[in-house]
């Protein structure tokens, strides 16, 4: 779900956003680019490079807006997964942020994204 472009488009982004375009090469040194469309306003893109890829445990990648945003410089995102038997714990770290307001914006976006992912997984046959 985190490395298949068509699946990422189904859950990534804040509530009510769509992801009309996903390019994803989930390997160390591979690149990604996503275009996000808010319910109102212009679409925007984000991109980066994968630094670490362990599909069952950890994903580390850079995160930048395109065009670059001086308020949000390049950041690093670390997603860690821990198998708890009947569920999986997800830990996410992203930064550094220039302001607390930007951190809150990203935190809310990730919360929505992970909620959407959980809903999608709940509908899948395992």
- Structural domain boundaries in the chain: 5-122
- 93 backbone dihedrals φ, ψ, rounded to 5°: -130, 135
Cross-strand pairs, 79: 59, 92
- Give pLDDT tens digits for 53-105: 998 899 999 999 998 888 888 999 999 999 898 888 999 999 999 999 999 99
Band of pLDDT at residue 1, cut at 50, 70 and 90: low
Whether 121 has a pLDDT exceeding 90, the answer reads no
- Give pLDDT tens digits for 9-36: 999 999 999 999 999 999 999 999 999 9
Mean per-residue pLDDT for 32-57? 95
Number of residues in the chain: 126
| Whether the Cβ atoms of residue 10 and residue 120 lie closer than 8 Å to each other | yes
Compute the distance between CA of residue 21 and CA of residue 91 in angstroms, rounded to an integer. Answer: 26
pLDDT at site 37: 97
Compute the distance between CA of residue 109 and CA of residue 41 in angstroms, rounded to an integer. Answer: 16
| Whether the Cβ atoms of residue 26 and residue 3 lie closer than 8 Å to each other | yes
Three-class SS state of 85 = coil
Compute the distance between CA of residue 109 and CA of residue 46 in angstroms, rounded to an integer. Answer: 14
Q: Which CATH architecture has domain 5-122?
A: 2-Layer Sandwich (3.30)
């Amino acid at each position: 779900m985190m490395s298949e472009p068509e699946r990422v488009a189904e859950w990534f982004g804040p509530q009510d956003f769509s992801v009309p375009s996903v390019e994803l090469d989930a390997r160390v040194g591979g690149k990604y680019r996503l275009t996000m469309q808010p319910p109102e306003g212009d679409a925007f893109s984000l991109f980066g490079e994968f630094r670490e890829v362990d599909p069952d445990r950890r994903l580390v990648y850079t995160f930048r807006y395109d065009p670059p945003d001086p308020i949000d410089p390049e950041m690093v995102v670390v997603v860690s997964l821990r198998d708890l038997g009947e569920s999986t714990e997800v830990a996410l770290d992203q930064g550094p942020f220039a302001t607390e307001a930007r951190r809150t914006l990203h935190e809310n976006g990730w919360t929505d994204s992970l909620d959407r992912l959980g809903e999608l997984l709940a509908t899948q046959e395992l």
